Structures are given as structure tokens and as C-alpha cells.
Amino acid sequence: MPRTPTTRPRSSRTTRSRPSPAPPIPLAVTGEPASIAGRRLGHFELIEAIGSGGMAAVLKARDLELGRIVALKILPPEAARDPESVTRFKQEARSAAKLDHENVARVYFFGEDQGLNFIAFEFVEGDNLRVIIDRRGQLPPGECVRYMMQVAAGLNHAAERGVVHRDIKPSNILITPDGRAKIVDMGLARYLGSELVNGTVTQSGVTLGTFDYISPEQALDPRRADVRSDIYSLGCTFYHALTGRPPVPEGTAARKLRAHQEDDFLDPRELNPAISDELAAILARMMMKDQAARYQTPNELISHLKGLAERLHVADPLAHDSATKAVPAEPRLLPETPRLRPWWVMAVVAVALAAVAFVVSTGNPGPAPGLPGTAGTFTKDKGKEKGNGQDANNGGGPAIQGPALPANPANSVVPVRKIEELAKRLENPDPATTKVVLAPGEFDLRRLPKGILFQGNALELVGAGAGLTKIIVNASASTNRDTSVSLTVSARTVRN
């Protein structure tokens, strides 16, 4: 019999297809936040893209375990292929984890998922300072002082824990709707107590920092940067905020680096007349080329900012910070008005033991007491002096050695030219402060037939015109005082 062909029964099992892998999370800010909404990275649910930079992207996300909104900073895959970038990214997390301060964005978590390294930071509502400057232009001095105090408080907290930020700039300062300033992005931060961990990050010979705001010493060697470098960058940042432009607004990276090393910056008062002499003096000291001439600690800077805030009637924003709340306000930002005691002025008719000469310069003003070393930080706009409107900020103008008095509102000021006129002004002082404008020349008070009894509260001597003004008096032993006492007359310029 012929065999009946048999057929094999088909297997009842069906082949199941494996699910295709999810597409990679887009990290560029494309303007389409829906493309990442609902995706997950670890235990975080992504909401939208909120920013990106040269080294990382920032996404708004929800922490599903703790139920709070965070900012996820993600290292892109291409950067993750560079071991140094990964090391620096992890170092950022370690540095930020040491900090817990109202003016520093806190770090909550560090993790890796789907091949992506990420840090979960405190989410801060508001805009960064660079966006605010671009939108509004020059910011009011009072507002800037309030922000500067807060950033300085954050830097003080970091410095106390051995952390240097090394990339203070407008885009790394977030301003909340209620005016709170917060430092973000510790991407270049360095923990001073961990050279071994950090060594490979800064030994590649690459300049770390942002050229518009980098300190001279950090540009040469990032390992030399300490909190004084952050203070320099903070000064450059608020120079930008107050004037609408960075200290070196144009040029190549090499040009900007050289300017931070060598050039005097354009006096910010030339760009914004609302900047007071006190604020200009503070900026000048923050931005000194020599780090030893700057403020040595953030609290030292805060002390002067508090004194200026009181003058500007700016409310103290540091009530939350016990470390800086106790810092006393320093009111002496500019030279105090010279004070002459009657016994000392009367000495001009006594037996001369020593001739003391006082020089009132009518050129550029000198450094302010309590603000040493501000000479050579800023220059005048040479183009404006010539009337051609050109910007000569790159070392072309004479150095502004310290803050000058505001322009004299009285255009009819007649300078004193004779010692008899000076004697008359001193013997009949105003109830509060006697301000005497002196013409260039020599005022030898020893030639007066009788002594001068000055009974005012304060005496301010101001130079006018070009040249020097010299005042000579005699010191006397009859006063039973130290005859080496000298009167320092601050150099000022009277603008008519």
C-alpha cells in the first residue's frame, strides 16, 4: 500500500517579537519639550528641557520617590566618552554635595541610567543674571548690591568648606522672582582639600573658566585659584550687570585673557553715571590684578557691601545666614572728611618744631582708606575726553587710582586763591561740614598774623584745576600733643 504522507503538526507556539529599545533622550534644547515629557531617567520623570551648555544639558524633572521638582543636569554621551569630562562631572557633584546654603543651588542625587550620567539639583524658579541683563540692560546699583551680597554669602559658605567655584559669571547666578540670588553650576569647582582626587582634572593644560570673567591667576594655572579668584569673577560679573557689558567686551579669547592680565578696564562710571564712587571703589578692589590686593575673604567684601547698602537704603538680604549676619557694616568706603581740631589749627602761631606740608592733588584721585591698592584698576574713556566718542578702554587713558567725588552741582564754585580767604572760610565754618575749594598753588599758613580757630565739625579740602595745591602749617609743642600727627587730605577733582 502506498504510504500516506504525514504532515508535521505546526507548533502551537507563536514567536514573540522583542520590544524595540526606547529612542535616546534628546538633550539639546529644541523648543519641543513634549519630546521628553513622560520619559524616565532613573527615578525621575522628565518634564521639559530648560537649558544647555557646552558640557551638559539641563532638564526639569519630577523626583518620583520624594515628590519634588528638580533640575537634572545631564552629561551628553559624547562628553561621557572623555574620561576627564566624566571625572569633572563627578567632582561637580561631590563639591556641590558639601554645600547647604540658601544662596547655592543644593544637590540631591547623582546617578547613571541609560548610559547617561546625571546630577539632580534643586530646581530654582527664575532667570539667570545674563538673561536679565540682556532683557533689561544696565541694572540699578541698589539691586546689584543686594545680589552681590547674597552671592558673596554663598561664596563664603563654599570657602569655609574648601570649595572654590572657579566659574562665577552672570549665567551661573539665578535670580528668583522674590529677588533671591543662587549660585549654580559647580562644573569647574575645586575642592581644596582633595588634590589627589582632583589632580587629573586641572593638569591637562587647558584654561578652565569663562574668558570674560576669569581671574589673571586662574587663566595662568587653574590650580592657583582660591576664593579671591571667585571674588575677581564676581566683580567682573557685576561690572557687566551695572554697565551692560563685560570689562573686555570685544576681541579674541587670547585678547581677553591678556586684558585680564595687563589692561586697566574702563571706569564703570563712564558707562553708567548712576554708579556711586563707593560702588566703583568696591568693584575696583574686587578686580585688582594682584590677588593680594583684593578682598581676601567674602566676609570682608560683605562688610563693605553692607555699609554701601545702608547708604542706598537697601534692605539686608542676609538675615537667613548666621555666618554673614554677624558681619558688621563698614561705613568707611571713601576717605573720611578731614577733621581739624581747634588746638591743632591754633598751632600755626606757636613755636615751629616741624613744618608739615599737605598736598591736595587736582588730578586723578588717590586710593581710599580701607580700600588699598585700587590704583590702576580702571581707566577713563580717552575717546570721551577728546570728544570723539571712541572707546579707549584698553589701557589708553590715565589710570583712575580711586573713586572721585561726584560732580559738583554748583557750576559757580570759585576756588580760594589767597591764605586770607582761606583763613576767613575756616574761621566762619558752616554748621555741618566746611568744604573749601582751593586753587593750585601754595598756602603757607605760617605767614598769617594770628592763628586760626576752626570750630566746625568737619573740614573738606578739595583741589580744583590742574596742578598741585600745598598747605603748610606749623606743629607746636605747646599743645602737649604728638607733633608728628599729620592731616591726610584726599585728592579730589572738582568738575565745573
Strand-by-strand arrangement of the 181-183 sheet: 127-128, 173-175, 181-183
From the candidates 63, 82, 134, 167, which is the catalytic residue? 167
Measured from the Cβ of residue 84, the count of other Cβ atoms closer than 10 Å reads 14
- State yes or no: is 264 an active-site residue: no
Q: Is 134 helix (H, G, I), strand (E, B) or coil?
A: helix
Angle at which helix 195-202 crosses helix 83-97, to 10 degrees, equals 140
Q: For residues 211-250, b (16+ Cβ closer than 10 Å) or e, as one string? A: bbbbbbbbbeebbebbbbbbbbbbbbbbbbbbbbbbbbee
* Whole-number Å distance between alpha carbons of 166 and 209: 6
Beta strands in 314-457 (DSSP E): 354-361, 378-379, 399-400, 433-438, 441-444
User: Are the CB atoms for 359 and 470 separated by under 8 Å?
Assistant: yes
Strand-by-strand arrangement of the 441-444 sheet: 354-361, 468-475, 441-444
Strands 57-63 and 68-75: antiparallel
Sign of the dihedral defined by the CA atoms of residues 376, 134, 74, 70, in that order: positive
The grid cell for 117 is 550620567
73 is in an annotated binding site: yes
User: Are the CB atoms for 270 and 204 separated by under 8 Å?
Assistant: no
Which residue positions form the known binding site? 73
Which residue positions form the known binding site for ATP? 73
Q: Give the active site residues.
A: 167
